[in-house]
Structure 1
């Protein structure tokens, strides 16, 4: 289990997270919803140890992760797929994927994970020697997720996987996210597309101004009047 308790994060005078608590059980997809500036990406950065909390607890499977570095977090199987893809544009698809496994030593399993990524995203195999910067936005998103999978995550942190890509491709990527979860990876999904996020997740949290405003089973939240008005256009 990945658990945050009473986490506060400040950027100077800006109080970005105001005592949030959340959990990801093994095998779950948990979605984190909210408007721009609500603190969603800050939460992922804090989990990845890219941002230091001012207060709170961060525990994974009984280990205090606040004593760990960002590279320790990756070694522990917590992999962050950032917003806006952040592929290395001057490197090939293959080189980008290889970077995802840079801390790993298990060469046989790395080769299996290449095959796994190509099963999810056949287009990446077709473009293996193509520069990442020449891919379409959707293909770059596939590459970003594939690179994250090369780290062999137990917990995958996905930040806005649908951002800036065509609706048909969004549906495909969300189906792949479901498959990744069904094959054993727990997922924390930050997503503006609340309808898709609630549809595939088990449990959801709604952030407002750095606080958890609502939480519950995703199917129940889909029928919550406040959620419907704010995020589902009802």
Structure 2
């Protein structure tokens, strides 16, 4: 469904991604793991074309993407839920959700998707007229995911959904991510909580200094001694 092949990305003179190759199959959850600065968020920004690679190929549903714009990426069904939530704090919950569907014309399906978001996140329905900036960190993360879902993604890019969230809510959010996937949305997940990411994903890539250091089925990587030493505290 989505394929990066030998992608090189620079920040000025800093070589951030050094020839990474990643594949995400339709209907799967794929996780990108690694320490801070490994290149995980850079990979998502590259897929969204917020960053343009100097070298490599990028295909989505067999269509070349590198000559397209970031708005073309959204129209293709690649929706990015960024690190740090980035909700619009002065807008209400409902206004934030509606902003997620701004490029869509299918009004009836938008209503259906809004109901589905409220099914996933009942707290958002309860707080739909509340300003987003007054929500808790966990609720803002729910809103950020809900807003991304309102874009009707074929593939959802999730960047650190557990960051800064109370542990009791992390499990809940990961359960919802699994549910979203089970209903047909492909997910590419960047996550520092390696235990949780490996638990819910089908396949994982471990990035290190801009390279893919390890990859494989998540159930196998959980038992890999090197992965345990570096990322699971084993």
**Alignment TM-score, normalising by the size of structure 2:** 1.00
Deviation at 1:62, TM superposition (A): 1.1
Residue 200 of structure 1 is matched in structure 2 by 200
Structure 2 counterpart SS, 1:67: coil
Write the deviation string for residues 57-80 of structure 1: whole angstroms up to 9, x where unpaired: 000111111121111111110000
Write the deviation string for residues 101-136 of structure 1: whole angstroms up to 9, x where unpaired: 000000000000000000000000000010000000
Residue 189 of structure 2 is matched in structure 1 by 189
Structure 2 counterpart SS, 1:6: strand
Unaligned residue ranges in structure 1 (runs of 5+): none
Q: How does 1:1-234 map to 2 (within 5 A)?
A: 1-234=1-234
Write the deviation string for residues 30-85 of structure 1: whole angstroms up to 9, x where unpaired: 00000000000000000001001000000011111112111111111000000000
How many residues in Structure 1 have an aligned counterpart in Structure 2? 234
Unaligned residue ranges in structure 2 (runs of 5+): none
**Alignment TM-score, normalising by the size of structure 1:** 1.00
Distance between the aligned counterparts of 2:148 and 2:61, measured in 1?
A: 21
Structure 2 counterpart SS, 1:66: coil
Deviation at 1:93, TM superposition (A): 0.3
Structure 2 counterpart SS, 1:197: helix
Q: Which 4+ runs in 1 deviate beyond 3 A?
A: none
Distance between the aligned counterparts of 2:122 and 2:219, measured in 1?
A: 32
Deviation at 1:13, TM superposition (A): 1.2
Distance between the aligned counterparts of 1:72 and 1:48, measured in 2?
A: 9
